[in-house]
């Protein structure tokens, strides 16, 4: 009986500690949302930092403990043990239903995370400052490969989300998205959406893309083309009656072509 009571007490203690650690993360996210921070930097033994209007500032003066950051990793479904995950992309929803894209990683042997806030409202194409006539002309195509390129934070994902929402309002299409993680969640209007997250709904971009070809798609959005198999399948899909939209990290058209071709083995 004593052993049983001790076990219950231990379990209750663990639950209480877990709640306290989650409250710490919740309070950080609350403060970040109130200040409209675009990014949150969490690192073991470091004070949390926020990026607001391209400026980075500290939040409070209490460093995050190993327990704090471990609890957050676990909430994101990652293994924070020493022999666990090294890098992992994930998503997180705060208690205010604000969605984040999360990069879990290690730095100097310590756990860390960077959270980017995902805007809930998809902006209209005309709000982007990009040539709307050109984007809609591309979006109306029935097949081909559209690559939106640029450095991190340049608006690639937002531009594609706006294009997909324009299709949703203007065309009749089955749109399959393969993302890591899913950023904008679409409500089907004239289009029907199938949104799949790598690691949750499909194993990899390449597998998700091959599977999408058997789902009667008209448009396929691949969050990022990272390897030969995905690059080849995207190209084949675009040549067989599908419109494929994706992103690459490059700044010039010539660089984009070179980067894409470099994904293919020499001699192919």
CATH number at residue 194: 3.40.50.300
Q: Show Cβ contacts of residue 34 under 8 Å, excluding neighbours closer than 6 positions.
A: none
Residue 6 belongs to a domain: no
Q: Give the CA distances from residue 233 to residues 135, 236, 242, 255, in Å, rounded to whole numbers and listed in that order.
A: 23, 5, 11, 21
pLDDT at 13 > cutoff 50: no
146 and 226 inside one domain: yes
Residue (of 199, 202, 224, 227) closest to 213 by Cα position: 202
> By mean pLDDT, which of 16-25, 94-103, 223-232, 246-255 is the weakest?
16-25
96 and 176 inside one domain: no
210 and 250 inside one domain: yes
With a pLDDT cut of 90, the percent of the chain lying above it is: 63
Q: What is the pLDDT of residue 130?
A: 82
143 and 206 inside one domain: yes
Region 64-76 average pLDDT: 91
With a pLDDT cut of 70, the percent of the chain lying above it is: 91
Q: What is the pLDDT of residue 19?
A: 53
220 and 181 inside one domain: yes
Region 77-82 average pLDDT: 85
Region 44-48 average pLDDT: 97
Tokens matching residue 93: 């929803």
pLDDT at 87 > cutoff 70: yes
Positive or negative, the CA dihedral 118, 35, 69, 249 is: positive
Residue 4 belongs to a domain: no
Q: Which domain holds residue 145?
A: 125-263
pLDDT at 192 > cutoff 60: yes
Across the chain, mean pLDDT equals: 88
DSSP labels for 17-49? HHHHHHHHHHHHHHHHHHTT-SEEEEEBTS--E
Q: Is 206 exposed, middle or buried (0-12, 13-18, 19+ CB in 10 A)?
A: buried
Q: What is the pLDDT of residue 83?
A: 75
**pLDDT (tens digit, 9 = 90+) per residue, 127-172?**
988 888 988 999 999 999 999 998 877 889 899 999 999 999 999 9
174 and 149 inside one domain: yes
Domain boundary among 71, 96, 117: 117
Residue (of 193, 174, 180) closest to 223 by Cα position: 180
45 and 136 inside one domain: no
210 and 245 inside one domain: yes
Cα gap 245→68, rounded to integer Å:
38
Residue 137 belongs to a domain: yes
pLDDT at 1 > cutoff 50: no
Cα gap 43→95, rounded to integer Å:
21
102 and 133 inside one domain: no
Residue 94 near residue 33, CB atoms below 8 Å: yes
- Greater confidence (121 vs 188) lies with 188
Q: What is the DSSP letter of 140?
A: T
Instruction: Report the predicted TM-score, pTM, of the whole model to 2 decimal places.
Output: 0.77
Confidence of residue 9 (pLDDT cuts 50, 70, 90): very low
Q: What is the pLDDT of residue 21?
A: 61
Confidence of residue 89 (pLDDT cuts 50, 70, 90): confident
pLDDT at 63 > cutoff 50: yes
């Amino acid at each position: 009986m004593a052993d049983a009571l001790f076990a219950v007490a231990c379990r209750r203690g663990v639950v209480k500690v877990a709640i306290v650690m989650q409250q710490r993360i919740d309070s950080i996210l609350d403060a970040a949302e109130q200040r409209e921070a675009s990014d949150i930097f969490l690192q073991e033994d470091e004070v949390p930092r926020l990026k607001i209007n391209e400026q980075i500032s500290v939040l409070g003066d209490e460093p995050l403990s190993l327990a704090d950051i471990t609890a957050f990793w676990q909430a994101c479904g990652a293994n924070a043990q020493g022999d666990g995950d090294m890098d992992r992309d994930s998503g997180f929803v705060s208690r205010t239903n604000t969605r984040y894209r999360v990069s879990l990683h290690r730095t100097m042997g310590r756990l860390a995370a960077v959270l980017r806030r995902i805007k809930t409202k998809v902006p209209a194409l005309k709000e982007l400052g990009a040539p709307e006539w050109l984007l809609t002309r591309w979006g109306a195509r029935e097949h081909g490969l559209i690559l939106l390129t640029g450095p991190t934070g340049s608006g690639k994902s937002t531009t594609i989300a706006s294009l997909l929402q324009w299709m949703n309002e203007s065309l009749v299409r089955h749109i399959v998205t393969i993302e890591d993680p899913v950023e904008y969640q679409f409500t089907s209007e004239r289009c029907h959406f199938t949104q799949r997250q790598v690691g949750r709904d499909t194993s990899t971009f390449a597998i998700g893309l091959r599977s999408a070809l058997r789902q009667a798609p008209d448009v396929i959005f691949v969050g990022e083309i990272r390897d030969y198999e995905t690059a080849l399948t995207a190209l084949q899909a675009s040549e067989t009656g599908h419109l494929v939209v994706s992103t690459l990290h490059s700044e010039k058209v010539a660089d984009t072509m070179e980067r894409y071709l470099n994904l293919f083995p020499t001699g192919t």
